[in-house]
Amino acid sequence: MAAKLIVGLGNPGPQYSWTRHNAGFMVLDRLSRLSGIPVARKAFSGLAGDGNWAGERLYLLKPQTFMNLSGRSVAEALRFYKLSLSDLIVIHDDLDIPFGKVRLKEGGGHGGHNGLRSLAQELGSPAYARVRIGIGRPVHGDVVNYVLANFAKAEMDAMLEVLDGALDALEMIIREGMPKAMSIFNGK
């Protein structure tokens, strides 16, 4: 059975739990609950778990290094499991996508996202699949404060649907491959 490393990006600690920058952690937590794969084992400078879902062996990882150093944790896990970048799927927030939209991408630049910048530095390449969770841009104000702020109440009310949409996209990537998943989810 093939295997995938699924990484949710975010910042550790309860003060960050509901922030926009933790959308990746939120998706991974939802996947953990629905699949029955606990993400609680301390490994790879993060919290890890493994099990089967959507017909695939999955290794789940929430780096606990803080966003800007996420690449260290991911590189460690890839080496340990002897997986390649084609086996990696990273879930993260994206300022350039309207709130609530889920978009898929393979490769590409970091777009100013420090977690993705760290991955590119540690992995030597951005050639992996991404599930991007739209958080929108602030109308005015600082981007750093915006991503580290909690979701607004109206956004939180919509998050369950957003998380489930991200899981639908992830399942399609695993079952049908990235090209088909991109053709369906990037058109919504």
Please write the tens of the pLDDT for every residue from 92-112.
999 999 999 999 999 999 988
Helix (H, G, I), strand (E, B) or coil at 149: coil
pLDDT of residue 186: 93
Residue 13 pLDDT > 90, yes or no? yes
pLDDT surpassing 90 at residue 2 = no
- The backbone torsions φ and ψ at residue 88, rounded to the nearest 5 degrees and listed phi first, read -105, 130
pLDDT number for residue 140: 86
140 labelled catalytic: no
User: Cβ atoms within 10 A of the Cβ of 121, count?
Assistant: 13
Question: Average pLDDT of 111-138?
Answer: 96
Tell whether domain 3-185 is in CATH 3.40.50.1470: yes
Question: Could you tell me if 51 and 33 are in contact, meaning their C-beta atoms sit under 8 angstroms apart?
Answer: no
pTM: 0.96
* Collapsed DSSP state (helix, strand, coil) of residue 88: strand
- The amino acid sitting at 54 is A
Give 126-137 pLDDT, tens digit per residue: 999 999 999 999
Residue ranges per domain, the chain?
3-185
d(CA 34, CA 53): 9
pLDDT for residue 70 is more than 60: yes
Distance CA 125, CA 40 (A): 28
Choose, from 21, 92, 110, 113, the residue flagged as catalytic.
Answer: 21
Cβ atoms of residues 92 and 113 within 8 Å: yes
Q: Is the pLDDT of residue 59 over 60?
A: yes
